[in-house]
């Protein structure tokens, strides 16, 4: 270990954190508020993402073995789509919005203005390190904020290219990126500077720590967390479609996806046929040896590898199970005969291991789901609209799909976020702009008429209050 470099890096980080006042001054100057400024910065971000598209892809391959196709579909393409949406709609998003006024405020007009929140902190994880930092950044820029970015140190190649991109086009008093050990830097940032909003994507335990720290200073937060997201396969489901879409949603990025199906609930009458189709689908997707597949990723670290392989003793492996620590490889794995009290069913798996349970009626499946309530995502596969509506009505969940899995994340017309333990707040597209904006209501009242009924003394006016305030 190069202790000199470590000391220099730590000293630079301390200087970065200590100079955050310059960002506050830049924001207060008002330079980030005009429409033209925001549009120019969004366009600059789009152009540089396109400029470094190949380097971004190489970095993601280095960190997670993502193919160029997967990188575009799940990382750069999503960022570019959000930028394009903002460029097209920003003028409308920024426009003050007239709204109704009640009778008690007769001869007043009401308007909602969209104000930037100020200086915001965005903290991203390692599993989709590019898009989970840059999509919130797009919303923050569009809303007129200054931003401090903290990428994950666990995906160092991607963190490095993102730092290069940010420093090339943005002055540090406007957008600043601070790499390094999150457990040290995030604490230092929040303890030394009052941000106007904190946006965090990551694990539930760390989310709770950040929420607590933010609460001390009454800082609003968006927490995009995780949880155990179930997928239900009803007895009338299209077996081939369900197998293909569940396998893709689960095993993209080697299962290291917050919206991946965490476990399956398959109707007993469909189980054997479905399991056969799921096994065939996995072989069709990744071949007989997924270790050499260009469409299959790797585990992020030896620490995560060890946690994931420890799960393999929690039940019976019915498909896959092969692993190689030196290559950070774990094959797509299906398991059954698992206890609902096992560690595998108490922790978010976040890897390529898929437990399967059977059920004979909805209540039986609901009882298993309620062991881990408020999942981030929920997926149901059925051809019956009545069953579809019943599942959606019965379960609280952050977001979900009918006859699909994980792809709701790519639809920027839908808000993305959790509920309860799986998160607070939602973003994507217009919703990202809203999360980084303050809706500032203003009521303008005209001088005439100035009715005496509003003023003391109030004796005898109760009937009029009841009339006007209905």
From residue 468, give the alpha-carbon distance in Å to each of 105, 170, 220, 423, 459: 9, 53, 36, 41, 16
Q: Is the pLDDT assigned to residue 16 strictly greater than 90? A: no
| Banded pLDDT at 4 (limits 50, 70, 90) | very low
CATH code for position 124: 3.40.605.10
Q: Hey, what are 230's tokens?
A: 């179930």
pTM of the model: 0.94
Whole-number pLDDT of residue 468 = 84
Q: Are residues 193 and 60 in the same domain?
A: yes
Per the domain annotation, does 88 fall within a domain?
A: yes
Question: Which 3 state secondary structure label does DSSP give 129?
Answer: coil
DSSP output for 175-196: EEE--S-HHHHHHHHHHHS--S
Q: What are the φ and ψ backbone dihedral angles of 449, each rounded to 5 degrees?
A: -85, 155
Q: Are residues 304 and 186 in the same domain?
A: no
3-state helix, strand, coil in the chain (%, to 5): 50, 20, 35
CA separation for the pair 279, 85 (Å, rounded): 39
Question: Averaged over 226-235, what is the pLDDT?
Answer: 96
* pLDDT, tens digit, 9 for 90 and up, residues 429-455: 999 999 999 999 999 999 999 988 889
Q: Are residues 191 and 283 in the same domain?
A: no
| Banded pLDDT at 13 (limits 50, 70, 90) | low
Per the domain annotation, does 294 fall within a domain?
A: yes
Q: Are residues 303 and 208 in the same domain?
A: no
Per the domain annotation, does 362 fall within a domain?
A: yes
Q: Are residues 62 and 139 in the same domain?
A: yes
Q: Count of residues for the chain?
A: 470
* pLDDT, tens digit, 9 for 90 and up, residues 262-318: 999 999 999 999 999 999 999 999 999 999 999 999 999 999 999 999 999 999 999
Whole-number pLDDT of residue 9 = 57
For the stretch 403-439, what's the b/e string if a residue is b when 16 or more beta carbons lie within 10 angstroms of its beta carbon?
ebbbebbeebeebbbbbebbbbbbbbbbbbbbbbbbe
* pLDDT, tens digit, 9 for 90 and up, residues 36-93: 999 999 999 999 999 999 999 999 999 999 999 999 999 999 999 999 999 999 999 9
Per the domain annotation, does 455 fall within a domain?
A: no
Q: Strand 221-224 to strand 197-201: parallel, antiparallel, or no bridges (unpaired)?
A: parallel
Contact between residue 351 and residue 254 where contact means Cβ atoms under 8 Å apart: yes
Question: Which 3 state secondary structure label does DSSP give 71?
Answer: helix
Whole-number pLDDT of residue 8 = 43
* pLDDT, tens digit, 9 for 90 and up, residues 101-115: 998 899 999 999 999
* pLDDT, tens digit, 9 for 90 and up, residues 163-212: 999 999 999 999 999 999 999 999 999 999 999 999 999 999 999 999 99
When divided into structural domains, the chain yields a total of 2
DSSP state of 92: H
Q: Are residues 325 and 184 in the same domain?
A: no
Per the domain annotation, does 216 fall within a domain?
A: yes
* pLDDT, tens digit, 9 for 90 and up, residues 344-383: 999 999 999 999 999 999 999 999 999 999 999 999 999 9
Whole-number pLDDT of residue 122 = 98
Per the domain annotation, does 24 fall within a domain?
A: yes
Question: Which 3 state secondary structure label does DSSP give 255?
Answer: helix
DSSP output for 46-68: HHHHHHTHHHHHHHHHHHH---H
Q: Are residues 390 and 433 in the same domain?
A: no
Per the domain annotation, does 117 fall within a domain?
A: yes
Q: Are residues 90 and 171 in the same domain?
A: yes
CATH code for position 288: 3.40.309.10
Of the candidates 358, 351, 352, the one whose C-alpha atom is nearest the C-alpha of residue 336 is: 358
Q: Which residues are catalytic?
A: 224, 258
Task: Domain of residue 136: give its range.
Answer: 3-225+423-440
Per the domain annotation, does 110 fall within a domain?
A: yes
| Banded pLDDT at 97 (limits 50, 70, 90) | very high
Q: Are residues 98 and 9 in the same domain?
A: yes
Q: Are residues 433 and 354 in the same domain?
A: no
Whole-number pLDDT of residue 280 = 98
Whole-number pLDDT of residue 10 = 59
Percent of residues, the chain, with pLDDT higher than 70: 96
Q: Are residues 363 and 347 in the same domain?
A: yes
* Residue at which a domain ends, from 361, 390, 411: 411
Whole-number pLDDT of residue 18 = 64
Q: Are residues 200 and 349 in the same domain?
A: no
* pLDDT, tens digit, 9 for 90 and up, residues 395-428: 999 999 999 999 999 999 999 999 999 999 999 9
């Amino acid at each position: 270990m190069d202790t000199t470099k470590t000391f220099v890096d730590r000293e630079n980080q301390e200087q970065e954190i200590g100079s955050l006042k310059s960002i506050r001054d830049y924001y207060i100057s008002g330079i980030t508020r005009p429409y033209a400024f925001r549009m120019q910065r969004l366009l600059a971000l789009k152009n540089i993402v396109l400029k470094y598209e190949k380097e971004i892809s190489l970095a993601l391959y280095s960190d997670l073995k993502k193919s160029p196709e997967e990188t575009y579909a799940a990382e750069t393409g999503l960022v570019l789509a959000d930028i394009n949406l903002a460029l097209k709609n920003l003028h409308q998003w920024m426009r003050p919005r007239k709204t109704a006024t009640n009778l008690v405020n007769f001869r007043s007009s009401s308007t909602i203005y969209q104000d930037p929140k100020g200086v915001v902190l965005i903290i991203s994880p390692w599993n989709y390190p590019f898009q989970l930092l840059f999509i919130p950044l797009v919303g923050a820029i569009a809303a007129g904020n200054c931003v401090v970015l903290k990428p994950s140190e666990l995906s160092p190649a991607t963190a490095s290219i993102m730092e290069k991109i940010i420093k090339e086009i943005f002055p540090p008093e406007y957008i600043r990126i601070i790499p390094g050990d999150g457990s040290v830097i995030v604490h230092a940032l929040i303890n030394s500077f009052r941000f106007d909003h904190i946006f965090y994507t990551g694990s539930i335990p760390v989310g709770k720590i950040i929420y607590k720290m933010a609460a001390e200073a009454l800082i609003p937060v968006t927490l995009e967390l995780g949880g155990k997201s179930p997928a239900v396969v009803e007895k009338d489901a299209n077996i081939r479609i369900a197998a293909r879409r569940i396998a893709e949603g689960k095993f993209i990025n080697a299962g290291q996806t917050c919206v991946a199906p965490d476990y399956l609930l398959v109707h007993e009458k469909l189980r054997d046929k479905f399991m056969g189709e799921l096994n065939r689908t996995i072989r069709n997707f990744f071949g007989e040896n997924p270790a050499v597949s260009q469409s299959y990723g790797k585990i992020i670290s030896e620490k995560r590898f060890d946690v994931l392989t420890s799960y393999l003793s929690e039940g019976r492996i019915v498909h896959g199970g092969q692993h190689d620590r030196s290559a950070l490889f774990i094959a797509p794995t299906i398991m059954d005969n698992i206890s609902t009290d096992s560690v595998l069913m108490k922790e978010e798996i976040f890897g390529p291991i898929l437990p399967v349970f059977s059920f004979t009626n909805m209540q039986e499946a609901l009882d298993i789901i309620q062991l881990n309530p408020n999942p981030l995502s929920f997926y149901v596969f059925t051809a019956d609209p009545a069953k579809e509506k019943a599942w959606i009505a019965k379960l609280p969940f952050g977001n979900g799909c009918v006859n699909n899995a994980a792809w709701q994340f790519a639809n920027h017309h839908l808000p993305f976020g959790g509920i309860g333990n799986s998160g607070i707040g939602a973003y994507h597209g217009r919703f990202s702009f809203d999360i980084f904006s303050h809706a500032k209501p203003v009521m303008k009242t005209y001088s005439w008429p100035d009715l005496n009924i509003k003023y003391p003394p109030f004796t005898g006016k109760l009937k009029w209050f009841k009339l006007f305030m209905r």
